Structure 1
């Protein structure tokens, strides 16, 4: 990293991996040669300076903010953080909210003030938030008032000191009392700006650190070269801003292109379809599950404005790609990315799309398929996917850095093959991660929740194929003596898990068994459960 830093609170910088554990970074494109000092929040200032002040930046329902209004709100929030809450450059700020206009403004406000954003999914419970807060040493938070119960629960258990709420809280009033200008903190391009959390197979969250330059790099690689957005486009999507897939597709890409963000006012695919039709959405981001759900809607939605559709989060089946193309005339742009890499690094668009294949490396990245010893495999062979480019894995104080990075390459945990033409084809995951409707679910986390139920003696969770969601969680449960298996207890266990961890993680299938398959040393044999499933 450069010697210069604007960070006064250097916790994140101090807990980055040592240099010998970092991937090799490559900046082969001219647009990736960023200046030494850079603040990613300047994307908003740049848009206004380019004459977009009166253009709609964010629209939702019958409301809209222009670029000038979004910039003003972001500047005011930056002032609230610095002047009222004592944020210093490098300090972490929890952002706990659904995708909404104030969340977008808050994201930019934190960044402009030199803070480090720690965004979390709105479905997380207090215990899950506490783990994130403790790991990143978060003391400040901006949150949606509807999520106050989880935030206050976490606040009582952690070092979180101050929370300001919006949409029923006081953030709007405090922001309105501030001037609408703010001098962006003069951060270094390699100052941390984002700690994005992802669950590992152990269920222990990993904080992925990204720099200011990384935020711009995802726009200057996948978005610029594959998506090729224009200012007249309207972006919309289902992934939360807490996912870097959502941060790019629903926030950074449209703002960097001077386009418009359209936000849904409530969850569900009917609401998504209504938003697409109402606002003339041209560019959609969702998982394969979302496209299948939209195809099944029968409420008269037309979706005729769509021009570009992007899929990530799970493998896109050729059947889904073909069905969407037949119904809409738009071929889905598939892609693989990861929180560690910040966004998509293999993809294809237009005539390059081959249904069933993920694509080729996005300009700025290179990829290869390796054997277990880290040696490149011949074309057509199946092995571990390795990638490198302008972004890469930097875990926050985590020994698993040594597993994800080897010999300068990022090992994503995916199994792939590369054909003779250079296209990459997804084969499966190399770990126990369950990917359901685009969400990563750690089997261990679901198991830990189930084991807290007094009737559960042992359990094991795996992912099983599902036509709608790609995979679902299935739990194999061994009960304590005296407990009666049956549909009522299965429903009770499902409700119990929903109350303990984010509801999307609950096991949608529960099977009661007398014992779990194990080795002679007592190690669970998940492969036997998968064979049975």
Structure 2
């Protein structure tokens, strides 16, 4: 099967007008990502911590995922069963996903940073029957397995022998080495019947508020990422090398970079870095001739601390995409100057509907602080959250995307139709069904979208509505502030007041003088009512495993 998503047109408006989803019958994500390509093309360049490297071709990944599929089938995995993947940037991670999709099973990417409670919740909520787990998570899985009644087998990647695991059967859960479980000579497998709408993957939200929700996507989800992938990497995506330091447990790594790159037959660099090291990142990108990278804003800020990168490293970098927070003009100017013209494009999406909005310099200039414009293939609108109607340019509304045949929009929340219905507008504009993102934004006269806040994050103080993100962005421009989280806390007189939890830069000191300076700094740049009346200095801000600040933990001292 040969199928490629193509974004054509001389302008963004023309591309949106001409684009259509024309997916062939019998579509399977694994076939699309590795099975349709020339088997000799490099697909994965795996770099180990010691610097050694192994190159896997698309033929290698296709054959080896067949072997993993055979092993999973031998352990009882059938169409629709769930298989957890708790592995960092290693081949076993992507091989297990591909194997599941060939089986018609549902894969479940989970972070190696998860502790007992986080892992236990997701394994039990999904009823995962098999877990492929990195050796670094061996003790954690032993702790949680007795509480996971559906879990029948754990395959341990690296660092375990059959002998060492013989005594580690936990209740009804058998533990064995991944490499012993898989017969790598079994290179053929009869693929299950699937199509673009067959369930393929459950990706859990980070749980920054409430219990994490299992977001169920179908085989078409990675196709849904491809139009934006073409745009934020400036449309020339079939001649490059791709890398991200982001954990392969998240849609921001798998969906923003790894799987779209494979859709187009391009090699990806895998490296289990652990904590982000800016010097090592530059070394890796230089050594592997990385041309395109997905880098979270925090990683970019750390890279900005490295002096003279183009003189110290022989970089091939052409474009960077980033998301999670608006990119400041400082970041864009740094990339242009320090990286000799490298383009940085912002992207917007969420686990439920990723990569809906981005920039493409070939079509329109980036506006610092703007999200960009809607991507061809996704009908994105800003709606009145009460009436469901489109709002005028310059007015704040909720970002929504028409469901239709758009493959990037999730199928449902796992086992939770009530929450699914809560984010679905059944009779929206033009009488169609729309997904409501819960994000507030406004659209300007040129079609750019400007993020305001989550709809439940707004602080109402003395009758004024304040977006925490705006206060955070302003405070981050102060030299003393490394990271900041802003929340509203109850106040008898004003209803709420603005509180800022601040992680200081290394050279800064937590003093009352600095608090006063930061208040005035914000007051001068935003509004007299928009400054943080309460400022708390913390050594480290609480974050989810995806790096998002846990705002619910900032309301207490």
TM range (shorter): 0.7 to 0.9
State the Cα distance separating 1:466 from its structure 2 match: 4.4
Matched residue of 1:249: which SS?
Answer: helix
Contact in 2 for aligned 1:58/1:101 (Cα 8 Å): no
Question: What do the CA deviations read for 1:400-443 (whole angstroms, capped 9, x no partner)?
Answer: 22332223222212221111111111122222499xxxxxxxx9
**How many angstroms apart in 1 are the aligned matches of 2:290 and 2:305?**
19
Q: Which moved more, 1:113-122 or 1:224-233?
A: 224-233
Name the CA shift for 1:62/1:318 in 2 (closer, same or farther; >3 Å).
same
TM superposition score normalised by structure 2:
0.72
Residue 114 (structure 1) aligned to one of 104, 107, 114 = 104
Matched residue of 1:41: which SS?
Answer: helix
Number of the residue aligned with 2:300:
291
Number of the residue aligned with 1:396:
414
Matched residue of 1:78: which SS?
Answer: helix
Answering whether residue 273 of structure 2 is matched by residue 266 of structure 1, we say yes
Matched residue of 1:379: which SS?
Answer: coil
Name the CA shift for 1:384/1:72 in 2 (closer, same or farther; >3 Å).
same
State the Cα distance separating 1:504 from its structure 2 match: 5.5
Contact in 2 for aligned 1:125/1:502 (Cα 8 Å): no
State the Cα distance separating 1:74 from its structure 2 match: 1.1
Question: What do the CA deviations read for 1:235-283 (whole angstroms, capped 9, x no partner)?
Answer: 0012222211211234211111111111224222333222111101001
Matched residue of 1:86: which SS?
Answer: coil
Question: What do the CA deviations read for 1:359-412 (whole angstroms, capped 9, x no partner)?
Answer: 111001122222231222111112222222503242122222233222322221
5 Å-filtered alignment, 1:378-389, equals 378-388=392-402
**How many angstroms apart in 2 are the aligned matches of 1:433 and 1:99?**
37
Number of the residue aligned with 2:316:
305
Number of the residue aligned with 1:129:
119
**How many angstroms apart in 2 are the aligned matches of 1:270 and 1:359?**
30
Name the CA shift for 1:376/1:282 in 2 (closer, same or farther; >3 Å).
same
Number of the residue aligned with 2:139:
149
Residue 182 (structure 1) aligned to one of 182, 189, 201 = 189
Name the CA shift for 1:163/1:52 in 2 (closer, same or farther; >3 Å).
same
State the Cα distance separating 1:56 from its structure 2 match: 4.6
**How many angstroms apart in 2 are the aligned matches of 1:475 and 1:368?**
28
Number of the residue aligned with 2:495:
none
In the alignment of these two chains, the number of paired residues is: 442
Number of the residue aligned with 2:355:
344
**How many angstroms apart in 2 are the aligned matches of 1:121 and 1:259?**
25
Contact in 2 for aligned 1:123/1:502 (Cα 8 Å): yes
Question: What do the CA deviations read for 1:443-463 (whole angstroms, capped 9, x no partner)?
Answer: 9xxxxxxxxxxxxxxxxxx99
Matched residue of 1:332: which SS?
Answer: strand
Matched residue of 1:240: which SS?
Answer: coil
Number of the residue aligned with 1:356:
369
Contact in 1 for aligned 2:35/2:62 (Cα 8 Å): no
State the Cα distance separating 1:502 from its structure 2 match: 5.1
State the Cα distance separating 1:224 from its structure 2 match: 3.8
State the Cα distance separating 1:494 from its structure 2 match: 8.5
**How many angstroms apart in 2 are the aligned matches of 1:422 and 1:252?**
29
Number of the residue aligned with 2:527:
none
**How many angstroms apart in 2 are the aligned matches of 1:293 and 1:189?**
39
5 Å-filtered alignment, 1:8-19, equals none
State the Cα distance separating 1:202 from its structure 2 match: 3.5
State the Cα distance separating 1:513 from its structure 2 match: 7.5
Higher relative contact order (CA 8 A, sep 6+): 1
Question: What do the CA deviations read for 1:481-504 (whole angstroms, capped 9, x no partner)?
Answer: xxxxxx9xxxxx999989xx8596
**How many angstroms apart in 1 are the aligned matches of 2:546 and 2:385?**
36
Question: What do the CA deviations read for 1:38-62 (whole angstroms, capped 9, x no partner)?
Answer: 21010244344xx242435333243
Number of the residue aligned with 1:171:
178
Number of the residue aligned with 2:499:
none
Contact in 2 for aligned 1:474/1:510 (Cα 8 Å): no
State the Cα distance separating 1:100 from its structure 2 match: 1.9
Matched residue of 2:356: which SS?
Answer: strand
Q: CA RMSD in A?
A: 3.5
Name the CA shift for 1:379/1:198 in 2 (closer, same or farther; >3 Å).
same
Question: What do the CA deviations read for 1:211-244 (whole angstroms, capped 9, x no partner)?
Answer: 112222222x212455335333110012222211
Number of the residue aligned with 1:192:
199
State the Cα distance separating 1:130 from its structure 2 match: 1.2
TM superposition score normalised by structure 1:
0.75
**How many angstroms apart in 2 are the aligned matches of 1:510 and 1:385?**
26
Answering whether residue 290 of structure 2 is matched by residue 281 of structure 1, we say yes
**How many angstroms apart in 1 are the aligned matches of 2:456 and 2:350?**
14
**How many angstroms apart in 1 are the aligned matches of 2:119 and 2:229?**
31
Number of the residue aligned with 2:64:
73
Number of the residue aligned with 1:24:
none
Contact in 1 for aligned 2:86/2:133 (Cα 8 Å): yes
Answering whether residue 46 of structure 2 is matched by residue 59 of structure 1, we say yes
**How many angstroms apart in 2 are the aligned matches of 1:503 and 1:410?**
23
